[in-house]
Amino acid sequence: MINGPYLLFLGDAPDPLAAKVAQGIRDWRPDASVGQLRLAGCNADMGLADMSVAEAVDAGAKTLVIGVANRGGMISDTWIEALIEALEAGLDIASGLHNLLRDEPRLVEAANRLGRQLHDVRIPSVKYPIANGKKRTGKRLLAIGTDCSIGKMYTAIAMERVMLERGMKATFRATGQTGILITGDGVPLDAVVADFMAGAVEYLTPDNDADHWDLIEGQGSLFHASYSGVTMALIHGGQPDALILCHEPTRTHMRGLPDYALPSLEELRDIGLTLAQVVNKGAQVIGISVNTSAMERPAAEAYLAELEQRFGLPAVDPFAQGADRLVDALP
C-alpha cells in the first residue's frame, strides 16, 4: 500500500509523453497529488502547483511518485540527488520504472537509514496463493480487448468514477504499473510467476458486500500471442459477472505483432464469454467500449451506432462521452 497524498515527480521529462504515468494519475486522481516537482530541463506540466520537497511535505505529501520515464534506462545522478532529498524530508518513493529503486545502492542506504519505503510497483510484494476457484461474494467486472493498450484501464476507472458519483459501491482494482500508481495498490500481474497469476487476481478481488463491484483492470488480449496467458488468468481468477469488450477501430494490426490482424468484436465476445462461463455460469457481456480518439466525431458516432445495432449492447467511448451508459447496463 502506497501512502498518499503524492508529490508527482516529473524530473527532467523531455516532453509531455515521457510523463504519461503522471498524466494518468492527474487525469484519474486529481486529488491524489499535492503538487509536482520539476527539475531543470523539464518540458512536462501537469498543471499542478510546482513545489520543492519541503513544500510538499508541509502540504501533507507522504510519497514521491515517479511519474516520468527515465532517459536511456538509467536513473541519473540528478534524479538520485532529488530522490535522496525527498527521503530525507520524510517521503517514501514509489516507481514503476524498469530500473528498480532497490537496485540503486544510494537510495537503499538512505531509505534504510531513515526508515522510509521504496515501492517498486513492477515487482510483486506479496506471495500470492494458487487460485482455488471458489465463488466469492460481491460482483466483478472485467474489461477485455481485441488487443493490448486499447482502453481497458480507462474503461474500468471511468466506470468507477461514475459509480462512486452515484453512491454505488465500487473499487477499481489495478493490475498494471500505472493503475497501481494511480490507486496506490494492486497486483503487477505481468510480473507474477505463472502458477500464481489467477491466485493473485483472486487475492486482489476478495469477498465483498453483495452490491459491491470490483472493476478489474484488464491486461493483454486473448488474441495477443505474447500476453494471452495473462488475460486468461484474469478471466479465471476474476470470475467476472460482467464483461466489457474494448476496441480501437483504426488499428491495423495487433500491437507489436505486424503479422496479426485484430479479431472481430464478435470473436472476442464469443470466446471471452465461453471462457468466463467456465468459472461463472452467470457471466454476461454488458457493453462495448471504443477508443475513438483517432476518428472524426461524426465517423465515431456512426460507428458506435452501428455497433449498438449489431450487438444490442451500449457502445460508448467512456473517455470522450463518460461511462454512464456502461454503468446503466450493469446487471
> What residue ranges bind its own copies (CB under 8 A)?
130-135, 189-195, 197-199, 222-233, 235-237, 254, 256-257, 259-260, 263, 271, 274-275, 278-279
The distance from CA 214 to its chain's CA centroid, rounded to whole angstroms, is: 13
> Is residue 70 a contact partner of residue 97, using CB atoms and an 8 Å limit?
yes
Q: Which is nearer to its own copies, 59 or 271 (CB)?
A: 271
Residue 74 CB, nearest distance to its own copies (Å)?
20
Q: Shortest approach of its own copies to residue 196 CB, angstroms?
A: 9
Three-state SS at 128: coil
Instruction: Let me know: does 241 contact 282? Beta carbons within 8 Å.
Output: yes
CB 22, min distance to its own copies, A: 24
CB 317 within 8 A of CB 304: yes
- In terms of C-beta distances under 8 Å and separation of at least 24 residues, what long-range contacts does 206-212 make, across chains too? 206/136, 207/136, 207/137, 207/138, 208/136, 208/137, 208/138, 208/169, 209/137, 209/138, 209/169, 210/137, 210/138, 210/139, 211/138, 211/139, 211/168, 211/169, 212/138, 212/139, 212/169, 212/170, 212/171
Cβ closest to its own copies, residue 23 vs residue 178: 178
Strands annotated E in 218-324: 242-247, 284-290, 315-316
Residue located via cell numbers 467512456: 318
| Spatial separation of the C-alpha atoms in residues 141 and 259, rounded to whole Å | 31
Indicate the residue among 130 and 302 with the shorter CB distance to its own copies. 130
Smaller CB separation from its own copies, 140 or 161: 140
Burial of 1 (0-12, 13-18, 19+ CB in 10 A): exposed
User: In the complex, what is the shortest distance from the CB of residue 277 to its own copies, in angstroms, rounded to a whole number?
Assistant: 10
- The nearest distance, CB 126 to its own copies, in angstroms, is 15
CB of 219 to its own copies, least distance (A): 9
Q: Which is nearer to its own copies, 78 or 264 (CB)?
A: 264
Cβ closest to its own copies, residue 238 vs residue 318: 238
Residue 46, CA atoms < 13 Å, CB-side half-sphere = 33
Which is closer to its own copies, CB of 112 or CB of 226? 226
Q: How many CB atoms lie within 10 A of CB 279?
A: 18
For its own copies, the closer of residues 161 and 173 by Cβ is 173
